[in-house]
Amino acid sequence: MTRVSAWALLAAFAPLATAQRAAPTAAPPINVERTSYHVPAFSNDLVTVLNVFIPPHRESGFHRHSLDSVGVLIGDTARTGQVLGAAVTVTAPRGRGSANFTNYAREPLIHNVAITGDAPFHNIVVELLEPNPYGFTPEPRGQGYTQILDNERVRIWRLALEPGQTAAAITQAAPGVRVVIDGGEIVEILADGRERGMAPHSGEFFWQDAGTTRAVRNIGTARIDIVEVELK
């Protein structure tokens, strides 16, 4: 009988062990709702709202967007972006209170966001959970409201009121989200004449059902700046 040493057996099985210990493949990028600094803060049957707050000199890590999304900017800073497989690029600054729409349902994106500035980046993102319009029809708004974006998925308004100013009464025909850029103190004057006081602050957001009639008056000492997103 031929005797085989332990060392010979180890040598024979070494290639198999090496193959079994092959380096694992990289994990696929996670969805935006699970990535760093993108916090799901509200959800219903129509939308998910993400509170995106990235501190200075931090980054999100690569993540995937696949739902049509509105971004309402609370505060910008120096930052870069990198689409998966491409070079890092400097992101152009956006104005405070600006709103943009991206059709990720049609063209999904995997990217990383890195903050290079000394201030945080703060964005409120409204994700539309269905890839097609819901069938709501927003109505025109009167004095005080400025339409800043309109497409097949959303209509977006901006409302800025100095102390003592009142925005004309409107009836909200489509549901949506109110985002506070600069807060203060307001009252909403309802259809029956009742007044409801509020003291919203910067970065807050609120779901708004359709069918509500209201005027808005600034009763504080600071300028109020609000963005309202209506779904279509």
What pLDDT score does 172 carry? 94
Q: Are 48 and 90 in contact (CB under 8 A)?
A: no
What pLDDT score does 94 carry? 96
What pLDDT score does 109 carry? 97
User: pTM to 2 decimals?
Assistant: 0.87
pLDDT in tens, the chain (232 residues): 444 444 444 444 444 444 444 444 456 689 999 999 999 999 999 999 999 999 999 999 999 999 999 999 999 999 999 999 999 999 999 999 999 999 999 999 999 999 999 999 999 999 999 999 999 999 999 999 999 999 999 999 999 999 999 999 999 999 999 999 999 999 999 999 999 999 999 999 999 999 999 999 999 999 999 999 999 9
What pLDDT score does 29 carry? 82
What tokens appear for 175 in the block?
């549901």
Extended beta strands in the chain, E state: 30-31, 38-43, 47-54, 63-65, 69-75, 79-83, 89-90, 99-102, 109-115, 121-128, 145-150, 154-161, 166-171, 176-182, 186-190, 195-198, 205-208, 213-218, 224-231
What tokens appear for 108 in the block?
């999904």
What pLDDT score does 27 carry? 60
Nearest to 182 by CA among 50, 74, 53: 74
Nearest to 112 by CA among 80, 72, 142: 80
Q: Going from the N-terminus, what domains does the chain have, and what CATH number goes with each?
A: 30-128 (2.60.120.10), 145-231 (2.60.120.10)
